[in-house]
Amino acid sequence: MSEGQPLFPEPLHVGRPNIGDREAFLSRVGSMLDRRWFTNNGPLVQQFEHSVADFIGVKHCVAMCNATVALEIASQALGLSGEVIVPAFTFVATAHALQWQGITPVFADIDPGTHNIDPNSVERLITPRTSGIVGVHVWGRACDDAALAHLAKKHGLKLMYDAAHAFGCSSHNGRLIGGLGDCEVFSFHATKFLNSFEGGAVVTNNDALAEKMRLMRNFGFLDFDRVVHLGVNGKMTEICAAMGLTSLESVADLIAINRRNYLAYQSNLRGTPGIALIDYPPTEANNYQYVVVQVDPALCPVGRDELVRHLHANNILARKYFWPGCHRMEPYITLQPNAWRHLPVTERVAQGVMVLPTGQSVGLDDIAAICGLIKTMVAHAAAR
Ligand code: T4K
């Protein structure tokens, strides 16, 4: 690398999509064109739904156009209203899906170890207006379902999970995420572990809830003419299902690549002061889609933001997910100018986290170069 030139000639993104077997995908697209059936619960969507439900071991998978709409439809179907408790440390879609419908997302703090919603914080926020809790399995690590389910039962609340990151991940008892709470919502966005270009799904073991969501995602149509429910257009298209099915066939390979990359980052960065990757506990399955570095300001001589700037200057587009926390985002500052603002753990974690590129398009040489850059920067800062 000569002075002033970036280490990588082309940007290295966090969230570069993974692609399964191209021939299998193109063949599905070919038969879709032959059928002239492009959307509205077509055969590929139905196959995708069955395959996802079987993979996870749940009764129902209701595929949707994206996870944000899936969260909106699920919260309507569950009858959420008033206030719903969510973590502030999440992608803003979790909160927006509620607020968009006039439901107030009440922001809870997180556990510093798991980065997931802290049940103690949740309990303190329950009021007579609370109708539900939405936990988020951040980085695919499972929420403390036992504690959240206990709270939900005790206070008569609905419990839903945003499992956008968590396809192929399990909780501590080894059960794949998807069967917890009243329902769980996956994202199949291009940047997600399992991608269908755009897409999402609600999975549940509740027959009546699944039935209601099927109506709601299709304007409430029961058949050709009868509209029996309020609804929107939340349908997944056939081409998205074709991609989803193809991705599903590659799950084991993609986990292996992500895990290889994660271990390479871990060994390359070992011993760098104040720099540590978050752990994925051996008792839980994970898809390793997120390589999350925690920068400890007490030990690292260079700050997270300076590291990110330097990485960007070298075409490594590290991300500061989920800075600054939803509670510090403009719409919510305006809407909730009160007590929920100071969430110490969320703020500390959001100040210290950066996510690095992984997936199929990132090789071991790339990882060695990225880690080399980080280590050099830390060493130079220590010598200043
Ligand atoms: N709940 C949670 C907890 C979530 O994390 C998300 C989404 C949702 C709900 C909502 O799910 P969806 O409604 O989207 O199904 C990205 C994703 O867009 C977003 O889906 C995801 N979370 C979030 C964590 O990351 P951004 O704004 O950071 O980045 P974006 O979409 O610009 O993509 C990141 C990078 O990936 C780009 O800089 C370039 C690269 N990229 C992206 C796309 C779309 C590609 O190389 N190719 C592509 O096709 O949100």
Using the mean position of ligand 1's atoms as its centre, give its distance from the Cα of residue 189 in Å.
Answer: 7
User: Is beta strand 200-204 parallel, antiparallel or unpaired with respect to 60-64?
Assistant: antiparallel
Q: Which atom of ligand 1 is nearest to the CA of 70?
A: 13
Stated as kind and residue range, the H or E segment containing 67 is: helix 67-77
Q: What is the pLDDT of residue 4?
A: 77
The predicted complex's ipTM stands at 0.97
**The domain 22-249: what is its CATH number?**
3.40.640.10
What would you report as the CA-atom Rg of the chain, rounded to the nearest whole angstrom? 21
Confidence of residue 2 (pLDDT cuts 50, 70, 90): very low
pLDDT at 78 over 70: yes
Please tell me if the CB atom of residue 66 comes closer than 6 angstroms to any atom of ligand 1. yes
Nearest to 94 by CA among 43, 59, 46, 143: 143
Q: Which of 110-124, 311-325, 335-349 is predicted with the least confidence, judged by mean pLDDT?
A: 335-349
pLDDT at 337 over 80: no
Taking all residues of the chain, what is their mean pLDDT, rounded to a whole number?
Answer: 96
Quick one: CA torsion of 94, 95, 96, 98, rounded to 10 degrees? 100
User: Do residues 160 and 74 lie in contact, with contact meaning Cβ atoms separated by under 8 Å?
Assistant: yes
Q: What is the pLDDT of residue 1?
A: 41
Using the mean position of ligand 1's atoms as its centre, give its distance from the Cα of residue 206 in Å.
Answer: 29
- Of 68, 75, 90, 91, the residue with max ligand 1 atoms within 8 A of its CB, to mutate for a pocket test, comes to 91
Domain ranges of the chain: 22-249, 251-383
Percent of the chain exceeding pLDDT 90 equals 95
- Which of these is catalytic: 158, 192, 212, 235? 192
How many Cβ atoms sit within 10 Å of the Cβ of residue 336?
A: 16
* CATH 3.30.720.110 applies to domain 251-383: no
The amino acid occupying position 34 is: D
15-60 pLDDT, tens per residue?
A: 999 999 999 999 999 999 999 999 999 999 999 999 999 999 999 9
User: Is beta strand 104-108 parallel, antiparallel or unpaired with respect to 83-87?
Assistant: parallel
Q: What is the pLDDT of residue 338?
A: 72
